Amino acid sequence: MSLVITNIGELFTADDELGILHDAALVAEGGRIAWLGPAAQAPAADERLDAGGRAVLPGFVDSHAHLVFAGDRAAEFAARMAGEPYTGGGIRTTVAATRAATDEQLRAAAGRLVAEMRRQGTTTVEIKSGYGLAVEEEARSLRLARELTAETTFLGAHVVPAEYRDRPDEYVALVAGPMLDAAAPYARWVDVFCERGAFDGDQAREILTAGLKAGLGARIHANQLTAGPGVRLAVELGAASADHCTHLSDADVDALAGSPTVATLLPGAEFSTRSPYPDARRLLDAGATVALATDCNPGSSYTSSMPFCVALAVREMRLTPAEAVRAATAGGARALRRDDIGVLRPGARADLIVLDAPSHLHLAYRPGVPLIRTVLHDGVPL
Ligand code: NIG
Ligand code: FE
């Protein structure tokens, strides 16, 4: 079955060579993009979707989310808005709630968030564990995440759980050993929260190195609250991405600029923790690759909305709307080392969105407005 989308006012390909096309058409067949170009030259297809002069973009690639959890922390958010700082300490509250939940409850909650994301134009999402923090619990979280996405990440090193508070090195050995063994069959990536109060550079290195040896790719929660060693460790280990990048030294920026490690920025976290936003402009100008993601989680960033992150990146992080949309699509794909998503070009997956607007500019220009009209995943409308 083939589908032609006609009457596309603006086709935002997010592809370096193809750029932005006007008065365009696109043909999807077998879940892939078969053709795109000037509307007047569009080949025939079995079905036709009239975009009515609207903008068509790649589906968003949300490369950083924590969706397997129970409960929420709305009161913690309210306290922060009244002046309390974010420390990551609330993670243990969510761990207790998650351990107490059944598979069915966790599956339903995560599925609801993925559906929420889809409605907002996300066609690929990465999902981390990290609220189990025990061997069986982390394996369970990843098994449930796997039901929702192929991009699953083992984050046993989120914080040291309460029962290991006085023996953190034993916990690191557990994560790098038996927990990794149990998690690896369900995971594509390994991640560590490298931060004061969570895991230091040496502990992160030990866990990530073990993960790499087990065949997983690496990513790091780096430099969120302090300018620690996370970013440089990510670059040194060849991690796919360093996530947060809120507090960067010049050496961190240089390291990212000279490497394939993507700087994944999570402005929902700065919004919800009332923190200064990372300087996306500085990273792009230095030559680093930038991605945007939601960091959807019940503590630091309980948003599932990539359009919201795009708007924040434009307003608060000095990206142009086009740069922000590219970071939310092609950038996310780079952060997941994928070349089949995040761009519209022949051969790529037919994951795309039709906006209820004539151009991508409206995503930042009309913040908070539900502009996602149609979502196609593998060429099939959702
Ligand atoms: O990416 N910083 C570490 N992990 C999450 C927050 C998790 C939580 O607060 O529950 C983050 O911001
Ligand atoms: Fe996170």
Does the CB atom of residue 189 touch ligand 1 within 6 A?
no
Average pLDDT over residues 353-382: 97
pLDDT at 84: 96
Percentage of the chain exceeding pLDDT 90? 99
pLDDT tens sequence across 42-71: 999 999 999 999 999 999 999 999 999 999
Superfamily covering domain 60-336: Metal-dependent hydrolases (3.20.20.140)
How many angstroms is it from 357 CA to the middle of ligand 1?
A: 33
Alpha-carbon span 293 to 145, nearest angstrom: 17
Alpha-carbon span 121 to 81, nearest angstrom: 29
Does the CB atom of residue 193 touch ligand 1 within 6 A?
yes
- The domain segmentation of the chain, as residue ranges, is 2-59+343-381, 60-336
Closest to 381 measured CA to CA, from 343, 353, 344, 342: 353
Alpha-carbon span 285 to 282, nearest angstrom: 5
Query: Quick one: tokens of 250?
Result: 């010049």
| Residue owning the nearest CA to atom 7 of ligand 1 | 299
pLDDT at 107: 98
Alpha-carbon span 168 to 281, nearest angstrom: 37
Could you say which ligand is closest to the alpha carbon of residue 195?
Answer: 1
Helix (H, G, I), strand (E, B) or coil at 230: helix
Concatenate the DSSP letters of all residues of 10-69 into one string: EEE---TTT-EEEEEEEEEETTEEEEEEEGGGPPP-SEEEE-TT-EEEEPEEE--B----
pLDDT tens sequence across 241-287: 999 999 999 999 999 999 999 999 999 999 999 999 999 999 999 99
Q: Do 2-59+343-381 and 60-336 agree at the fold level?
A: no
- Which residues have CB less than 5 Å away from ligand 2 (the ion)? 295
pLDDT tens sequence across 105-134: 999 999 999 999 999 999 999 999 999 999
Select from 63, 64, 160, 300 the residue to mutate for testing ligand 1; criterion: most ligand atoms less than 8 Å from CB.
300
Alpha-carbon span 181 to 190, nearest angstrom: 12
Does the CB atom of residue 299 touch ligand 1 within 6 A?
yes
Helix (H, G, I), strand (E, B) or coil at 382: coil
pLDDT band (50, 70, 90) for residue 173: very high
Does the CB atom of residue 211 touch ligand 1 within 6 A?
no
CATH number of 2-59+343-381: 2.30.40.10
Closest to 157 measured CA to CA, from 95, 215, 110, 72: 95
Does the CB atom of residue 91 touch ligand 1 within 6 A?
yes
Q: Is the ipTM of this complex over 0.95?
A: yes
CA distances, 187 to each of 16, 212, 217, 221, 380 (Å): 31, 12, 9, 17, 27
